[in-house]
Amino acid sequence: MFSVAIDGPSGAGKSSVSKAVCNAVGFRHIDTGAMYRALGYAAVKSGVDVSDEAEVQAMLDKLDVNVKFDDEGQKVFVNGEDVTGKIRTEQISAMASDISKLPCVRAFLLGLQRKTAEEYNVIMDGRDIGTVVLPDAQLKIYLTASVEKRAERRYQELLAKNENVEYNKVLENAIIRDKQDMERKTAPLRPADDAVIVDTTDMSFDESVKMITKLIKERM
Ligand code: DC
């Protein structure tokens, strides 16, 4: 199987670019951020204090997190509930970043992530795919862009969904999340030593898709 790992900070376009590239090359897209978001959703719903690892572990012990794939792509389920459409809010973004710091959470999701990559050609996106989850991926990409550009894209996305937000708040949240994701002890966000760095600050969406599709075709 051919595996592509795409890591990078929030808002770099990992998910949307990965989806489009998957359509072009016929691969399956696995969005690991959605799995962390699903756990963030579960924590919000059950009122768990995510700074208390024992409390989070107790929640995980009773939790079933699963993914399914259909024509629209990946769907994430928490105890049978399809949460795919409910995990893209600013609240869940912050919660996912908080909860993803915990080693017990990372261990909980690792098996699920590796299992989904076993029988298919995949593009898996996240923060530690090239460094931890799929260290033998045939192609590793670190997709990034300036924090201002990423916040702007996220802001436009939220506006389109009629969410009432200010650009400055989105930028502030992006800076906090970057710091948290890059400075945590377990599986911090960083490019794998053998990753190709793709900076999309001045690239259009189509240019990013073309470039990554080309990298995959060359490597195959
Ligand atoms: O990619 P995303 O914005 O949907 O991810 C949400 C959060 O999940 C992000 O702040 C960090 C965490 N995450 C992670 O720690 N490791 C991954 N492989 C994917 C996401």
Q: How much is the pLDDT for 171? A: 96
Q: How much is the pLDDT for 164? A: 86
Q: Please choose, from the candidates 138, 127, 123, the residue with its C-alpha nearest in 3D space to the C-alpha of residue 208.
A: 123
- Based on the number of CB atoms within 10 Å of its own CB, is 6 exposed (0-12), middle (13-18) or buried (19 or more)? buried
Q: How much is the pLDDT for 53? A: 95
125 and 137 Cβ atoms separated by less than 8 Å: no
Rounded distance between C-alpha atoms, residue 180 and residue 96, angstroms: 11
Q: How much is the pLDDT for 89? A: 87
Cβ neighbors of 10 (< 8 A, separation 6 or more) are 93, 97, 150, 154, 174, 177, 178, 181
Task: Give pLDDT tens digits for 88-99.
Answer: 888 998 899 899
Q: Please choose, from the candidates 198, 81, 63, 78, the residue with its C-alpha nearest in 3D space to the C-alpha of residue 141.
A: 198
Quick check: CB of 100 below 6 Å from ligand 1? yes
Q: How much is the pLDDT for 209? A: 98
DSSP state of 132: I
Angle at 36 between CA 64 and CA 102, to 5 degrees: 95
Quick check: CB of 189 below 6 Å from ligand 1? no
Q: Please choose, from the candidates 68, 83, 74, 1, the residue with its C-alpha nearest in 3D space to the C-alpha of residue 38.
A: 83
Residue nearest to atom 9 of ligand 1 (CA): 97
Q: Please choose, from the candidates 20, 23, 24, 28, the residue with its C-alpha nearest in 3D space to the C-alpha of residue 4.
A: 28
Quick check: CB of 96 below 6 Å from ligand 1? yes
Question: Does CATH place domain 3-219 in 2.40.50.140?
Answer: no
Name residues of the chain where pLDDT drops below 70.
Answer: none
The owner of tokens 């970057």 is 178
Quick check: CB of 48 below 6 Å from ligand 1? no
Domain definitions of the chain by residue range: 3-219
Q: How much is the pLDDT for 113? A: 97
Task: Give pLDDT tens digits for 156-203.
Answer: 988 998 888 999 999 999 999 899 889 989 999 999 999 999 999 999
Q: How much is the pLDDT for 11? A: 87
